[in-house]
Structure 1
Amino acid sequence: MTTPLQVLIHGGGIGGLTLATALARRGHTVEVVELRGELDALGVGILQPSNALHALNEIGVLDACLAAGFAWEVLTIADPTGGTLAEIPQPRMGDLPSNNGIPRPALAKLLGEAAVAAGATIRFSTTITDLTDDGTGVDVVLSDGSTSRWDLVVGFDGIGSPLRTRLYGDRYTPEYTGFANWRVTVPRRPEVRGVVMGVAGTDGKAMLNPISADSMYLASVFAEAEDFRPDPERALEQLTERLAMFSGPVAEALASVEDPAGVVYSRISQVTVEEPWHVGRIVLAGDAAHASAPQLAQGAAMAVEDAVVLAESLDAHEGDVPAALKAWEERRRPRAMWVQALSRALLRQEMGAATTPEEDELLKVGVAGASHVLVEPY
């Protein structure tokens, strides 16, 4: 056990709750402040590749994730009619499953329970309104008027990170890629026992992602104007129009949508904080520092890796917070930036957009190569 620290985590998402659990299990005092009134994760489901499962195993929630989700081993590439083009076994990190799909609300619930069980406190409907780092600690004012002092403040507060704005102003606002993700939860078809990726050249891609014994989600990416938003009354119809080139399983999944209001639309943006991710005793992690396109399904995986590596770094530096943050970023930045760059290159390639020479070099690795790189130790 290293010197116990007082740590405030701004944001109760996947990365923040993973860090809270990892630190509280080590005996640190941890509080999570979350703007939402509860852990009601937005979205549909999430893919957990083997490296994410390894990180979650380190905080003791692997079995709960597998019980709530759907583990799988083979990626199927299909044509627009559903005909199989290739079946690609996915690599593992150690003896863990290659992948697991899980509903986002289920993951939020189990991570919240794990953090509290480890001894962390979660304060809802609360955010940071002011903070001052004097070099030996951080004085924080919260939106409920309370004040407190912390050894470390961590911003796991997402792509729109208010903490990032406090540190860097508007220098690192999210950059829209020109593409958006459409997703909707549907009943899982028995034959969908792993991710099925339907491809129609650069006209479109649709993925069927199992997330439990009974459910899966359909995801697709299309170029969209920056100011476009689906019509709430016609979102399912608009998605169906975009996927008109697909028949077979994709069309059947669309036809099985039970709640048209469940269509989730999100623009794909990225953030690259080029300056150090930490300023004194305040640090950004996960999407707040390095949000990526979803092409490698590594956004949440990078966040949970950030969390467990940060906990390890604080251990290794015996309470020397500035040294721990420096070592943590030196370890994390190259991997996270590589994932971000390759994810964006893949997005542009899939959508038929122009790529740079640097992206062309990255694309030689491909999705299959990347999956093997990412099961190496982080």
Structure 2
Amino acid sequence: MNAVKKVLVVGGGIGGQSVAIGLRRAGIDVEIAEILPEFNVYGVGIIQQQNALRALDDLGIGQEALRRGSPYGQVKMFTAGGHPVGLAGAPANEKYPSHNGISRRVLHEVMFEEASKLGVPFRMGLTVENLENREDGVSVTFTDGSEGEYDLLIASDGINSKVRGMVFEDLQPRYVGLSVWRYPFKRHEDLDTGYIYYGRRSKIGFIPMNEESMYMFLVSAEGVDPSIPKEQLVPKLVDYMSEYPVKIAQDAIKEVTRAELVNYRPLEALRLSNPWYKNRVVIIGDAAHATIPQLGSGAALAIEDAVVLADELQKNPEVNIALEAFMKRRYDRCMMVVNASETLGEWELLEFEGKPLPEGANPGALIGRTVGALGAPI
């Protein structure tokens, strides 16, 4: 008999809802504590590669994500002026497209609907205030003064995880020198798959989210202080976009008018040392291994964490054995993505600064190796 019967998940984002769904499907009672009083998901869009779709299928929601998103082929890569330079992503196979683009809000809705259908309770507007992490369970005091006893606490509360700081070292995210801009649009008439253009000061991509909509991302180097006042967001983004004379970018420039729609974020990374658990608390997703989006795999890793953790807790009668098995299946794979993404980011930063790449640097080869490795079973 499984020693884990009641689980608290801290954080109701992609990783938290994924693990709650996986646990409920395994017959384990689980509740989610979410610090926001209500969900207000923006985040624009998400790129889902085949490993993400496979993990969503394991949770029973892969086909719904495809239905409500936009399956598309390998990403076409170009110079700033539109000269083709290659393709990125695994080719479509008999089960999955190369990619699926989906609104972050829509993906959240798909997960929330499934979790609610399975009877997962959401405790909104609170989080953990204090905890006693023992070898046989966790006692939790919440920020509203209520208390609870759990066999396991799973922290999926993001890169600035409060729980991680309570259980492990006070680990701070590291700014990598790059920032990402995102903006939603009506789908352009020419967008038949994902496009990425490489400029001197930035790179820009256009990703379909459904038949009617797409989003743009742009990666830039903002220096030591990446903060940008709200009134400068639109003119600065338009200035970056002006480097690209291609029709899709020039048409998009005309629509970039509202600062509140600019999703701007300095890129940060974080690695929690192995193991990601102590006694009856385990850390997953960005709280354990936040990666920059150069490989479009951050959300996918969180979903995979959830699938593997639910699987190991279901099949192992002892919690320590389950958590050890979880780490064996997850650590090297996650670090492969984190390390490759940071290397790609370092090379992009050098290019944006007009500096030469290190001898032997081959971004295309690194992307190909990593994407190929992600096709392996988890």
Give the TM-score taking structure 1 as reference length: 0.93
- Aligned partners of 1:82 and 1:250 also within 8 Å: no
What amino acid is aligned across from residue 5 of structure 2 in structure 1? L
Rounded Cα–Cα distance in structure 2 between residues aligned with 1:312 and 1:281: 17
Rounded Cα–Cα distance in structure 2 between residues aligned with 1:122 and 1:49: 29
What amino acid is aligned across from residue 204 of structure 2 in structure 1? A
Name the residue aligned to 2:300.
301
In 2 relative to 1, CA 217–149 (structure 1 residues): closer, same or farther, beyond 3 Å? same
Report the secondary structure of 2:231's partner residue. Answer: coil
Rounded Cα–Cα distance in structure 1 between residues aligned with 2:176 and 2:360: 17
Rounded Cα–Cα distance in structure 1 between residues aligned with 2:258 and 2:365: 39
CA offsets per residue over residues 82-112 of structure 1, 9 Å max, x none? 3433345633576122211111111111111
Report the secondary structure of 1:233's partner residue. Answer: helix
- Aligned partners of 1:70 and 1:101 also within 8 Å: yes
Name the residue aligned to 2:192.
193
The one of 323, 336, 339 aligned to 2:337: 339
The one of 232, 244, 247 aligned to 1:246: 244
How many angstroms does 1:250 deviate by?
Answer: 1.6
CA offsets per residue over residues 61-86 of structure 1, 9 Å max, x none? 11221122110112111222334333
Q: Residue 216 in 1 paired to residue 214 in 2?
A: yes
How many angstroms does 1:3 deviate by?
Answer: 5.4
In 2 relative to 1, CA 276–87 (structure 1 residues): closer, same or farther, beyond 3 Å? closer
Report the secondary structure of 1:370's partner residue. Answer: helix
Rounded Cα–Cα distance in structure 2 between residues aligned with 1:131 and 1:124: 18
Name the residue aligned to 2:116.
116
Rounded Cα–Cα distance in structure 2 between residues aligned with 1:89 and 1:241: 29
Coordinate RMSD, CA, aligned = 2.1
CA offsets per residue over residues 208-248 of structure 1, 9 Å max, x none? 11111111111111111343322222311111112331112
Provide structure 1 residue ranges, at least 5 long, that are not aligned to the other structure.
Answer: none
Could you tell which deviates more after superposition, 70-79 or 293-302? 70-79
How many angstroms does 1:368 deviate by?
Answer: 2.4
Name the residue aligned to 2:60.
60
What amino acid is aligned across from residue 240 of structure 1 in structure 2? V
- Aligned partners of 1:78 and 1:197 also within 8 Å: yes
Name the residue aligned to 1:157.
157
How many angstroms does 1:252 deviate by?
Answer: 1.6
Rounded Cα–Cα distance in structure 2 between residues aligned with 1:179 and 1:205: 11
Report the secondary structure of 2:219's partner residue. Answer: strand
Rounded Cα–Cα distance in structure 1 between residues aligned with 2:65 and 2:307: 17
- Aligned partners of 1:25 and 1:119 also within 8 Å: no
How many angstroms does 1:365 deviate by?
Answer: 3.8
- Aligned partners of 1:174 and 1:270 also within 8 Å: yes
Rounded Cα–Cα distance in structure 1 between residues aligned with 2:194 and 2:169: 40
Name the residue aligned to 1:82.
82
How many angstroms does 1:371 deviate by?
Answer: 1.6
In 2 relative to 1, CA 105–235 (structure 1 residues): closer, same or farther, beyond 3 Å? same
- Aligned partners of 2:196 and 2:206 also within 8 Å: yes
Rounded Cα–Cα distance in structure 2 between residues aligned with 1:104 and 1:167: 30
Report the secondary structure of 2:113's partner residue. Answer: helix
Could you tell which deviates more after superposition, 33-42 or 52-61? 33-42
Counterparts of 1:1-378 in structure 2, within 5 Å, are 2=2, 5-88=5-88, 90-92=90-92, 95-170=95-170, 172-200=171-199, 202-248=200-246, 249-257=248-256, 259-318=258-317, 320-352=318-350, 365-378=365-378
What amino acid is aligned across from residue 208 of structure 1 in structure 2? F
Give the TM-score taking structure 2 as reference length: 0.93
How many residues end up aligned between the 2 structures? 374
How many angstroms does 1:60 deviate by?
Answer: 1.0
How many angstroms does 1:181 deviate by?
Answer: 0.5
Could you tell which deviates more after superposition, 111-120 or 26-35? 111-120
How many angstroms does 1:349 deviate by?
Answer: 1.2
- Aligned partners of 1:4 and 1:27 also within 8 Å: no
Rounded Cα–Cα distance in structure 1 between residues aligned with 2:134 and 2:305: 25
Rounded Cα–Cα distance in structure 1 between residues aligned with 2:6 and 2:45: 33
What amino acid is aligned across from residue 236 of structure 2 in structure 1? Q
Rounded Cα–Cα distance in structure 1 between residues aligned with 2:89 and 2:137: 48
Rounded Cα–Cα distance in structure 2 between residues aligned with 1:93 and 1:2: 37
How many angstroms does 1:361 deviate by?
Answer: 7.5
How many angstroms does 1:322 deviate by?
Answer: 1.6
CA offsets per residue over residues 269-307 of structure 1, 9 Å max, x none? 000112421011101101000001100000000000000
- Aligned partners of 1:45 and 1:211 also within 8 Å: yes
What amino acid is aligned across from residue 336 of structure 1 in structure 2? C
What amino acid is aligned across from residue 278 of structure 2 in structure 1? V
Could you tell which deviates more after superposition, 147-156 or 190-199? 190-199
